[in-house]
């Protein structure tokens, strides 16, 4: 435990979450080996710190450490950057150049966003991992290198393999020791600590008093989803530090900066609809509902025309069998229904007079599409489920207790 605390202090890691401590402990234990490490986690979780831990606690700590953002290098030059090139190997190659794998010999190379590598480069990387050999672009000479590889990605590599974007053999070669970095929503107890740390840093940077959190603001911070993780929390802390004159941050103040952060009770739209015509998600949802209502109206009109054409009386619901016989069955006016003849063990036709056919006619009732009614119904069910306990109901709904109280008063819900 003391080792984990000292690592946090050395590398500036804030948090006491057990899942975070587990990730640090795995990095510490694997560091003395030469095993390849794959670090996974959402964007903004702080994956870039863990390769430094692995390097500094390894026998290679006196060797070079090179971090490469694979997603920031154009596809046409990525091979040259990683493995080097010979003079004249392509246009603009005026002299020979060493690649990162050659420069990082006896050290560690960190491949960030490794899922962005082209398939051709993945083949070269696989050879380096398996044999420690590579060739410069435009050369046939094999070069040996002794490099520890640590890779990181925010992409789910098994899905990328299924889509043909990532080599399965490379995945298993990289994933010798996996380290999963938890998202901020799984470290809720660390959110307030991180906010205070960032607030103190920005207060020193901009020479102003640090921010203070009220109790309700602290609760709101911990209840938020944080899709952008630590990076998003840091950006919001900096915005508040600069913009707000009042140094005490309340939940009302915080709400202005968490507009896009709180999870909605409304269904989430598919990604391909996001941003269409500059509409917000709520406006798009209204549009979908109105289109559905229009389609239902057209369907009712079509059914009405079919009923009229087939001779059903909309008032009495009676079927004009003579019209059906004359229009559709001029020769065969009876309806044959197959039934199973048990004594013969086969299907046979049973003749049924058409006038004996019963038609079930009922009137379509249009379903209410009011968002307010739906929201009111959901809130009432949540309160009933938790026996009127607002705190538990708010957690179930994914909203703050203050927002739930406002909704109860707005809709006049009896608890």
Determine the longest span between alpha carbons in the chain, in angstroms.
97
Domain at 2-182: CATH code: 3.40.50.300
By DSSP bridging, strand 142-144 and strand 133-135 are antiparallel
Whole-angstrom distance, CA of residue 55 vs CA of residue 380: 54
Residue reference for tokens 């795995």: 26
Whole-angstrom distance, CA of residue 288 vs CA of residue 273: 11
pTM over 0.75: no
How does pLDDT run across 155-164, given as a tens digit for each residue? 999 999 999 9
- Integer distance in angstroms from the first to the last C-alpha of the chain? 47
Residue 392 half-sphere exposure, CB side, CA atoms within 13 Å? Answer: 9
How does pLDDT run across 95-108, given as a tens digit for each residue? 999 999 999 999 99
For 55, the token pair is: 């390097």
Whole-angstrom distance, CA of residue 59 vs CA of residue 107: 9
Percent of the chain with pLDDT over 70: 76
Cβ atoms of residues 46 and 154 within 8 Å: no
Residue 344 pLDDT exceeds 70: no
Q: Which of 110-124, 155-169, 179-193, 352-366 has the lowest mean pLDDT?
A: 352-366
Question: What pLDDT was estimated at residue 284?
Answer: 62
Q: 2-182 and 185-255 share one CATH topology?
A: no
Q: Tell me the fold of 371-411.
A: Arc Repressor Mutant, subunit A (1.10.10)
167-174: Cβ within 8 A, 24+ apart: 167/119, 167/122, 167/123, 167/126, 169/126, 170/122, 170/125, 170/126, 170/129, 173/36, 173/126, 173/129, 173/130, 174/36, 174/38, 174/114, 174/129, 174/149
Rounded mean pLDDT, 115-122: 96
Locate the domains of the chain by residue range.
2-182, 185-255, 311-369, 371-411
185-255 CATH, one of 1.10.8.60, 3.40.50.300, 3.40.220.10, 2.40.30.110: 1.10.8.60
> Which one, of 174, 64, 142, lies nearest residue 109 by Cα?
64
Rounded mean pLDDT, 63-70: 97
Residue 321 half-sphere exposure, CB side, CA atoms within 13 Å? Answer: 11
Radius of gyration of the chain (CA): 33
- DSSP one-letter code for 373: H
Mean pLDDT of the chain: 83
Number of Cβ within 10 Å of residue 364's Cβ equals: 10
Residue 220 pLDDT exceeds 80: yes
Residue 383 pLDDT exceeds 90: no
Residue 245 pLDDT exceeds 50: yes
> pLDDT grade, residue 413 (50/70/90)?
confident
Cβ atoms of residues 115 and 155 within 8 Å: yes
Residue 269 pLDDT exceeds 80: no
Whole-angstrom distance, CA of residue 40 vs CA of residue 156: 8
Better-scored residue on pLDDT, 111 or 94:
111
How does pLDDT run across 142-195, given as a tens digit for each residue? 999 999 999 999 999 999 999 999 999 999 999 999 999 999 999 999 999 999
Residue 215 pLDDT exceeds 50: yes
Question: What pLDDT was estimated at residue 117?
Answer: 97
Residue 342 pLDDT exceeds 50: no
Residue 365 pLDDT exceeds 50: no
Rounded mean pLDDT, 340-364: 47
């Amino acid at each position: 435990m003391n080792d984990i605390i000292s690592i946090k202090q050395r590398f500036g890691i804030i948090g006491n979450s057990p899942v975070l401590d587990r990730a640090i402990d795995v990095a510490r234990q694997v560091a003395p080996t030469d095993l390849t490490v794959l670090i996974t986690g959402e964007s903004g979780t702080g994956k870039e710190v863990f390769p430094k831990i692995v390097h500094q606690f390894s026998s290679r700590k006196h060797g070079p450490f090179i971090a490469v953002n694979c997603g920031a290098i154009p596809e046409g030059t990525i091979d040259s950057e990683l493995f080097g090139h010979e003079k004249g190997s392509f246009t603009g190659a005026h002299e020979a150049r060493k690649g990162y794998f050659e420069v990082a010999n006896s050290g560690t190379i960190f491949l960030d966003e490794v899922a962005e590598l082209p398939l051709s480069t993945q083949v070269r990387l696989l050879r380096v991992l398996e044999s420690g050999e590579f060739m410069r672009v435009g050369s046939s000479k094999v070069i040996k290198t002794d490099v520890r590889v640590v890779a990181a990605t925010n992409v789910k590599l098994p899905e990328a393999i299924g889509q043909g974007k990532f080599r399965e053999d490379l995945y298993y070669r990289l994933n010798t020791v996996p380290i999963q970095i938890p998202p901020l929503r799984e470290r809720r107890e660390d959110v307030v600590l991180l906010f205070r740390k960032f607030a103190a840093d920005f207060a020193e940077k901009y020479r102003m008093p640090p921010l203070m959190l009220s109790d309700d603001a602290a609760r709101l911070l911990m209840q938020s989803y944080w899709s952008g993780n630590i990076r998003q929390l840091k950006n919001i802390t900096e915005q508040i530090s600069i913009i707000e004159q009042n140094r005490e941050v309340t939940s009302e103040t915080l709400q202005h900066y968490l507009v896009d952060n709180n999870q909605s009770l409304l269904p989430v739209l598919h990604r391909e609809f996001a941003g269409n015509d500059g509409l917000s998600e709520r406006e798009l949802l209204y549009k979908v509902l109105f289109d559905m209502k229009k389609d239902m109206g057209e369907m009712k009109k079509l059914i009405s025309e079919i009923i009229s054409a087939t001779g059903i009386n909309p008032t009495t619901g009676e079927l004009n069998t003579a019209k059906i016989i004359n229009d559709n069955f001029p020769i065969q006016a009876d309806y044959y229904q197959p039934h199973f003849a048990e004594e013969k063990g086969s299907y046979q036709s049973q003749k049924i007079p058409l006038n004996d056919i019963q038609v079930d006619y009922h009137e379509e009732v249009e379903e209410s599409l009011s968002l307010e009614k739906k929201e009111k119904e959901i809130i009432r069910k949540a309160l009933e489920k938790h026996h009127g306990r607002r705190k538990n109901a708010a957690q179930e709904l994914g909203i703050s207790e203050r927002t739930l109280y406002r909704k109860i008063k707005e809709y006049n819900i009896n608890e």
